[in-house]
Structure 1
Amino acid sequence: MDWHSHAQRLADRVTHPGSRWRAAIAGTPRHQFVPAWWAWNGGRWEVRHGPADEEAWLKAAYADRTLVTRIGTLHADHAGVGDKPAGLPTSSSTLPGLVLQMYRHARIGDKDTVLDVGTGSGYGTAVLCRLLGDDRVTSIDVDAYLTAAAADRLSEAGHKPRVVTSDATAPLPGAFDRIVAMVSVRPIPASWLEALAPGGRLATTITNTSLIVTAVKTADGGAVGQVERDWAMFMRARRGTDYPPGLAELLDVARTADGEHVAMTRFPVLDIEEDAWELRSMLEVAVPGIQHEYHENTNTRTAIMVHPDGSWARAVQAEHTRPVVHQTGPCRLWDEFDAIRDYWLQNGSLPLYGAAVRVDPDGVIHLRRGRWQATIG
């Protein structure tokens, strides 16, 4: 199979001509790391097996897009045609452009030792090996099948980094100059700070937000840095074979029940997860743990929020009328959202991106920008 020309075109797309990452992308056979994946088609997930259609395999593998490899507990490697997996995506091969984006934020030097958090398919690990050499790269993932499959595929590609099955929040296997994560966390695991070498740098995203946090270890065992003026979203780190159950029962209630508080709001209904990353991130900082649902038809938009404390909100907007909001529980979720939109309109922007970051040794994150401040714990 002639994959080299495909990899070169991918490198041309995601790197500039002088980039030191260009040869690493051009020389890494991404298709070998994703022999099977899940494709969303007609409202459901369908498995794709690369060897069954080599042209489609190369097209998918060398596109700058994420390939989902695991839904719930079912990996595409083990799926048959007609299988219908349930749950959320739990592993993927991240789009190469985003992989490089995170590596650049980590400011990886040629002699740095790197911990790659979230092995996934192993593709990102292979890119690191191409640049740094195998002995400078360690990769971890909580899933034993993922690490075993990635190690085998890395070996086939000529690489022998250290690949370890480990919970990302547990003690880490060594000390590192750089820690870069392809999963999101909240807060920063204390084990990362313990494993960073003096002056070492981490780059990660915060769970359920688009915030990229970079920070350099300080003498007190914490770290200081910033929220980058950039954005990315990753699957959240998990500790077991799947994510814990969501709030399905509360969602059922929120879809139809009358709220304890019913009022009209002046702001339109939004699909906050897809169309308003900055607003969603600010809301997650203020009220962590909200689960969202959105529906739209020809005449009506409906947004629902539910929270583990039992709070829920439903906003319904018919055409261009003012939305009607139902809310119940100890926290008025839609009021919190509208307060953020008020801040946005009054100040012209939200303070998240570019905020200064201070991380305590236990991983609690403190954000500050001007007079605004917040804590992520």
Structure 2
Amino acid sequence: MDWKPHAERLAAEATPPVSRWRDAVASTPRHVFVPRWWEPTGSGTWALRDGPADEAAWLRAAYSDTSLVTRVGPLHADRAGPEDRPRGVPTSSSTMPGLVVRMLRHGLLYDGADLGLIGTGTGASTALASRRLGCKHVTAMDVDPYLTGTATDRLASLGMSPQVVTCDVTGPLPGDFDRIVSMVALRNLAGVTAAVRPGGHRLNAEGGLPIYGSRVHITPDGVCHFTRGKWSASYG
């Protein structure tokens, strides 16, 4: 599959021209992380899409700046059959790359920073962070062992080996970090706050995911607000 021209086009859409994230997006095969996904049918149910069964549709979906829903309720697309039509809200996704990049940029990352990334999902966000910072500086966390296991395998298939940990981030985190970026909403931030090193920074989602077409505004006191889903940043 010739995915690279599609990734380069996505990078041009999802990142500013001089962004240090552009090469990361252009060199990451997002389709590897989303072989199957859910699409709404318009009648309150979701229909399964299988990438390998239609490579043209797979490329269009994977390299569009949109979120791809991978789990509805408890049913993950990887484990679904073609006749399944779940109802309910998305509970996991491959978040739109442009939003992931904005979140990571507003995390104020720098070369050599150790990043804690909460909400592993498909692993695509972890791949972008690893491309930019290096695998040894990235720790991805999720409470769902299926998501962490699958993400680890797909990252390994690309020769990438960041630390991917199954844990409940409302408790102690597996280490401490210069930067923590959470791609999911967290109501209890005690464990996250305790894991931020002195002088570090965290960025936390305060709204449901996936979030489509969000826009960012940063107030003078350092708080980041996204419309259609609110995000906050704090320093410590």
TM-score, normalised to structure 1, is 0.57
Distance 1:61 1:155 in 2: 19
Deviation at 1:38, TM superposition (A): 0.3
The gaps in structure 1 that reach 5 residues or longer are 215-224, 234-280, 282-352, 362-377
Alignment CA distance shift 1:208-1:156 (3 Å): closer
Say what the alpha-carbon RMSD is for the aligned residues: 2.4
The worse-fitting range, judged by mean Cα deviation, of 53-62 and 75-84 is 75-84
User: Cα distance, 1:14 vs. partner?
Assistant: 1.0
Q: Could you tell me which residue of structure 2 aligns to residue 199 of structure 1? A: 199
Superposed displacement of residue 42, structure 1: 2.8
Match of 1:15 in 2: 15
Is 1:31–1:58's contact at 8 Å kept on the other side of the alignment?
Answer: yes
Which residues of 2 match residues 49-64 of structure 1 at below 5 A? 49-64=50-65
Contact map agreement 2:46 2:87 (CA 8 A) in 1: no
TM-score (norm 2): 0.90
Deviations 1:197-256 (A, max 9, x none): 111100112246989899xxxxxxxxxx632254353xxxxxxxxxxxxxxxxxxxxxxx
Aligned counterparts, 1:26-41, within 5 A: 26-41=26-41
Residues 180, 75 of structure 1: CA spacing in aligned structure 2 closer, same or farther, 3 A cutoff? same
Distance 1:124 1:81 in 2: 27
Q: Deviations over 1:70-125 (max 9, x none)?
A: 01111000111110224321100000000011111111101100011000000000
What is the CA–CA distance in structure 2 between the aligned matches of 1:207 and 1:165, rounded to whole Å?
Answer: 22
2:224 corresponding residue in structure 1: 228
Cα deviation digits, residues 268-312 of structure 1 (max 9, x gap): xxxxxxxxxxxxx7xxxxxxxxxxxxxxxxxxxxxxxxxxxxxxx
Could you say which structure has the greater relative contact order, defined with CA pairs below 8 angstroms and 6 or more residues apart? 2
| 3-state DSSP of counterpart to 1:226 | coil
Q: How does 1:301-340 map to 2 (within 5 A)?
A: none
Query: Residue 226 and residue 232 in structure 1: after superposition, are their counterparts in 2 closer, same or farther (change >3 A)?
Result: farther
Percent same amino acid among aligned pairs? 50
- Aligned-residue offset at 1:186: 2.1
User: Where does residue 190 of structure 1 map in the other structure?
Assistant: 190
- 4+ runs deviating over 6 angstroms: 209-214
Q: Given the superposition, is the C-alpha separation of residues 85 and 156 from structure 1 closer, same or farther in structure 2, using an over 3 Å criterion?
A: same
| Partner residue, 1:302 | none
- State the aligned residue count: 229
Q: Distance in 1 between matches of 2:87 and 2:152?
A: 27
* Structure 2 residue runs without a partner (length 5+): none
Give the direction of change, closer, same or farther, for the CA distance of 1:122–1:213 in structure 2 (3 Å limit): farther
**2:31 aligns to what SS in structure 1?**
helix
C-alpha contact (below 8 Å) 1:204/1:212 kept by paired residues:
no
Aligned to 1:128: 129
**Structure 1 CA distance for aligned equivalents of residues 104 and 68 of structure 2:** 19
- Say whether the 8 Å CA contact 1:39–1:48 is kept in structure 2: yes
Whole-angstrom distance in 1 between the partners of 2:104 and 2:169: 18
* Distance in 2 (alpha carbons) for counterparts of 1:358 and 1:66: 26
Name the CA distance, whole Å, in 2 between partners of 1:184 and 1:41: 26
Q: Judging changes above 3 Å, is the alpha-carbon distance between structure 1 residues 358 and 106 closer, same or farther for their aligned structure 2 residues?
A: closer
CA drift at 1:131: 0.7
Q: 2:20 is paired with a residue of what secondary structure?
A: coil
Give the conservation status (yes or no) of the 8 Å contact 1:34–1:93.
yes
Cα distance change, pair 145–50 in 1 and its aligned pair in 2 (3 A): same
- Whether the 8 Å CA contact 2:51–2:57 is kept in 1: the answer is yes
Distance in 1, Cα, partners of 2:226 & 2:37: 28
Partner letter of residue 157 of structure 2? E
- Change in Cα spacing, 1:190 to 1:212, as seen in structure 2 (3 Å) is farther
**1:47 partnered with 2:85:** no
CA radius of gyration, larger in:
1
